[in-house]
Structure 1
Amino acid sequence: MHHSFLAATNRPVLLPRFVLLAALAAGLLGVPPGCSKDDDEPVMAVPNPEMISVPQAATHPEGIQYDEANKRFIVSSRTKGVLSTVRDDSTFAQLADDPRLISTIGVNLDAGRNRVLVAVSDNGANTTRTTAATLRKRAALAIFNSTSGALLNYVDLGGLRPALNHFANDIAVDKDGNAYVTDSSAPIIYKVDLQGVASVFLENAQFDAGTAFGLNGIVYHPDGYLLVAKANSGTLFKVPIANPGSFTTVAAATGLSLTGADGLLLTDPQTLLLVSGSQRTVYRLSSTDAWATVRSTGTFATGAVSPTTITKRGSDAYVLYPYTATSPRFKIVKAVF
């Protein structure tokens, strides 16, 4: 029998406020009255919200990762050069900083090793930290404890090729803890091992983009290779870890253009989400031949914003809307295909 809070006369019964709150909490959260909840957990929390609007002015985040253990997002900042956290209620807090972090770009949460890795660059967006010596030259990997934010290592990458311009962009981590970092201004993928030793993993003229943005998003595939996106052409590359020089181009289905390719997210071995900032679209890509070819199986339009990258949260994916360097806020939005 369905019990209503309405009396037979259809006039509302004025129950004590605490009774109503208990009933609402029990009904909405599926928690029987009397079951204890953590005091700091919002009673009316919405699981995996559709959108989180973060009122932090001029943050201009580029990278994002969801930290499942701590129920928070980790975001970077082109304009401030810090790492920060965002919770579902828009609570924003600084996680890590260092004077050498001019602009923080791509972020990778290596949860199993309790560390967060961030690519560091300088294209002039952080006006308080940019210098003539670092502008278009800074490329580094900073590694922090993902719980405390303590700096674990700072690894110079640009010094491996000092004559070139640099923009360290995105990061993938393989099963052994090696990090791979793309450079959007030089035709290079770097490798940084667990000891912090940096090397040029792969350098090839096919990655050159001239003055445009080149290599961008990168992910590690559990079958032992990297998938790497080149922004200006929309090309996807498959790079075997064991033999990077044998890399191949992933053939896109007829009519599929991935220009503006930025962040990548591998949701399962056959499915890749690709964010195209210039197309204002997130593509869901599928491959049934170990990424020799790829086709689109769905899109998510982001509207009048250029999204940057995307992160997995349970079975959902959230895309980052940075807006501009002077915007009063940024948003984290669930991508629905």
Structure 2
Amino acid sequence: MPHFSLPAKTKLFYVARGLRYALLAALLTACSDDDEPDTIPANPAKITVPQAALHPEGIQYDETSKRFLVSSRTKGQIGAVKDDSTYAVFADEPRLISTIGLNLDAGRQRLLVAISDNGANTARSTPATLRQLAALAIFNTTSGALSSYINLGTLRPGMPHFANDIAVDAQGNAYITDSLSPIIYKVDAQGVASVFLENAQFSGGTGFGLNGIVFHPDGYLLVAKANDGSLFKVPISNPAGFTKVTVTQSLVGADGLLLFDPQTLLLVSGSQTTVFRLTSTNAWVSAAEAGKFATGAVSPTTITRRTPGDAYVLYPYQATSPRFAITKAAF
């Protein structure tokens, strides 16, 4: 076949056009790589949140909005944390001195918050509230609006108070532990407050007494006592008939609780820097350790469920820390 040769100018045209196309393709690829967001894994192993001196105490996972809600001992506000570590204020107002335990009552669109004052929030603490405040605040989970604020300490004036944790039963009644007085309060679905149970066995002496609390669907509460690690079973219909759960494992430092299923309780011990998995085969007459998860020196406080199979532990670190973390428990 005959050989045809392109003129030199034509060759240069095609070479130049080819170079332009190659350069354009390279630029498009680079832009595409820059614009592509980093992939955030589902249920990440650890979320580190760069919020200084927040010192959160309570945590709940909000499945509807795909966020964690956290409290703050030092600032009082409630915050929302996404998997990408971003933090936004969910709710705040002057009466939130130190926010402690949280309970997300998703079916009723309520976030229940225990309010106390141990002096950690220097901007809001006052002589009238220091070690005297035990309150319950209720927020709408959609708007963040405060719907109710109930001062529980007025039920027992003249006693020291520290509202710590909250459980909610099937009827919407809330039960709140007081760590400085041997009391469990009750606030019904209409907002009427009362002393549900008061007993000297709940006293913490000079330290913290009652701490974490959960509702069991069979009609009773499980309540932890921090100073000696006691675990109590309190029937809703007969609170005075409470019993102590027999546990061979030391639970000293018991803080937050999570009822993972009717036979399994996860318990955070801050002083032992450990999350214990307890199981019971006799309706919590007794319980045995079925695993534990060491957190390290991060001052763990409490734990929340994220999916049916995952639980996340709150690591506040110290009151002045530049960050806090939310970590998946790995037993």
TM-score, structure 2 normalization: 0.89
Q: Counterpart amino acid of 1:257?
A: S
Question: Structure 1 segments of 4 or more deviating over 2 A?
Answer: 14-21
Select which of 237, 241, 251 maps to 1:242.
237
Match of 1:281 in 2: 274
- The 3-state SS of whatever aligns with 2:75 is coil
Q: Which moved more, 1:301-310 or 1:70-79?
A: 301-310
Q: Deviations over 1:67-125 (max 9, x none)?
A: 00000000000000111100000110001112111000000000000010000000000
> Aligned-pair distance for 1:321?
0.4
Match of 2:325 in 1: 331
Equivalenced residues, count: 304
1:154 aligns with 2:139: no
CA distance in 1, matches of 2:219, 2:81: 32
Aligned sequence identity (%): 71
CA distance in 2, matches of 1:316, 1:283: 15
Select which of 207, 212, 215 maps to 1:217.
212
Aligned ranges for residues 1-337 of structure 1 at < 5 Å?
17=29, 44-253=39-248, 256-314=249-307, 315-337=309-331
CA distance in 1, matches of 2:324, 2:204: 29
> Aligned-pair distance for 1:165?
0.1
Greater helix fraction, Structure 1 or Structure 2: 2
CA distance in 1, matches of 2:157, 2:266: 33
Is the 8 Å Cα contact of residues 76 and 92 (structure 2) preserved in structure 1?
A: yes
- The 3-state SS of whatever aligns with 2:240 is helix
When the two chains are superposed, the root-mean-square deviation of aligned CA atoms in Å is 1.6
CA distance in 2, matches of 1:232, 1:74: 27
> Aligned-pair distance for 1:324?
1.0
Q: Counterpart amino acid of 1:324?
A: Q
TM-score, structure 1 normalization: 0.88
CA distance in 2, matches of 1:43, 1:72: 18
Q: Deviations over 1:147-173 (max 9, x none)?
A: 111001001100000111000000000
Q: Counterpart amino acid of 1:330?
A: F
- The 3-state SS of whatever aligns with 1:213 is coil
In our comparison, the structure showing a higher alpha carbon Rg is: 2
Q: Counterpart amino acid of 1:266?
A: L
CA distance in 1, matches of 2:30, 2:105: 43
CA distance in 1, matches of 2:55, 2:238: 36
Unaligned ranges ≥5, structure 2: 1-25
> Aligned-pair distance for 1:43?
6.4
CA distance in 1, matches of 2:218, 2:38: 42
- The 3-state SS of whatever aligns with 1:120 is strand
Q: Deviations over 1:305-330 (max 9, x none)?
A: 22000000002000000011111000
CA distance in 2, matches of 1:187, 1:131: 23
